[in-house]
Amino acid sequence: MNRNVRRRYASAAWLGVMYVLTVLALIPLGLVLWFTVSKGLPPVLHIEFFTNSFRPFGVPGGGVAHAIVGTGILVGLASLMAIPIGILGGVYVAEYAVDPWASWVRLASDVLVGTPSIAIGLFAYAVVVVPVHHFSGIAGSFALAILMLPIVIRTTEGAVALIPNGLRESGLALGLPRWRVSLQLILPAATPGVITGALLAVARASGETAPLLFTTLGNTLFRVDPTQAIQALPLTVYQYALLPYKSLQDQAWGAALVLVAMVLGINLLSRWVLRRQIRLAGQL
């Protein structure tokens, strides 16, 4: 076998190795999904799982209704705080990209994305829980909002930057003030991208456990008042999984399945929206 043939075979072999490693990387995804579905499906198939709240070990018919509603409240409140600020921040960073301040905001957002969520939980505990002397859904939402903010800023920036300059220039040429160009021309054109960012942030926040541990604490009762401690789905998974009772461990798997379905659903939706954005930007 001459040298060149050997080189070509070696190249093909390495290409094969790379693909094998990539498939290897996907095995955990397959395993996590498989176990979550196979272990989580039996409890989820009972309607009580979605209509009832915590029942102690031995009492049949326990469910996670309180956690599902709680996650909805926590993430909803967090979105109300983070998404408007994040969108405006993102518009600023993209529209005034040359400002030195904009690059500081960008750096701060990138660092904030990488900040350990447990530390954000400690922070929310110190500024929201300590002054009022009790755990509350609001404190949890505040922590989640801090997690969501940088994601919204960066994705909004990306979406706005995708809009061709021609649109901006034609707006300015018509004599529109800068704020109308940014908010009434550019932002609507970037809407799908902005929605993608908001959805990704919501997905991330729905799955976070660490920031909720010391803020909303969790609750075994069905509570909708955000000034009180309320339950959340990831907390349910975490707490029940570590208990020695089989029925509650099963519910932990069930809650994990609900969580994964929710988070992956939101992610796939955001992908679809993003594809629309790219097509739309191409048409402008």
Partner 1 sequence: MAAVIEAGTTAIPPVRRVPDRFRTLIAVVAATAPVILVVIVVILFQQAAPSVRHFGLSFLTGVDWNPVTDSFGALPAIFGTVATSFVALALAVPVGVAVAVVLAEQGQTTIRGILGTGIELLAAIPSVVYGIWALYVLAPWSYQHLEIPISDRFGFIGWLSQPSVRSLFTASLVLAVMILPTLSAISREVIRAVPRGLKESAVALGATWWETTWRVILPSARAGIFGATILALGRALGETIAVTMVIGNRYAIPPSIFSPAYTLASVIANEFNEATGTLYPAALIELGLVLILVTFVVNVVALLLVRSTASKASRAA
d(CA 231, CA 226): 10
User: Please, which residue, 171 or 234, has the CB nearer to partner 1?
Assistant: 234
Asked whether 93 and 82 are in contact (CB, 8 A), the reply is: no
Indicate whether 149 belongs to the interface with partner 1 (CB under 8 A): yes
- Which tokens sit at 82? 């983070």
Shortest Å, Cβ 7 to partner 1: 5
User: Please, which residue, 108 or 167, has the CB nearer to partner 1?
Assistant: 108
Indicate whether 228 belongs to the interface with partner 1 (CB under 8 A): no
Contact range with partner 1 by CB under 8 A, out of 41-49, 57-65, 97-105, 275-283? 97-105
Is residue 116 left, alpha or beta, with left meaning phi > 0 and alpha meaning psi from -120 to 50? beta
* Residue of 41, 59, 80, 107 that binds partner 1 (CB under 8 A): 107
d(CA 192, CA 272): 9
Indicate whether 41 belongs to the interface with partner 1 (CB under 8 A): no
* Residue of 126, 174, 221, 278 that binds partner 1 (CB under 8 A): 126
d(CA 71, CA 255): 12
Interface pattern 234-263 for partner 1 (x via CB under 8 A): x--xx--xx------x--xx--x--xx--x
Is residue 133 left, alpha or beta, with left meaning phi > 0 and alpha meaning psi from -120 to 50? left
Shortest Å, Cβ 241 to partner 1: 5
Interface pattern 10-39 for partner 1 (x via CB under 8 A): xxx-xx-xxx-xxxxxx-xx-xx--xx--x
d(CA 126, CA 140): 12
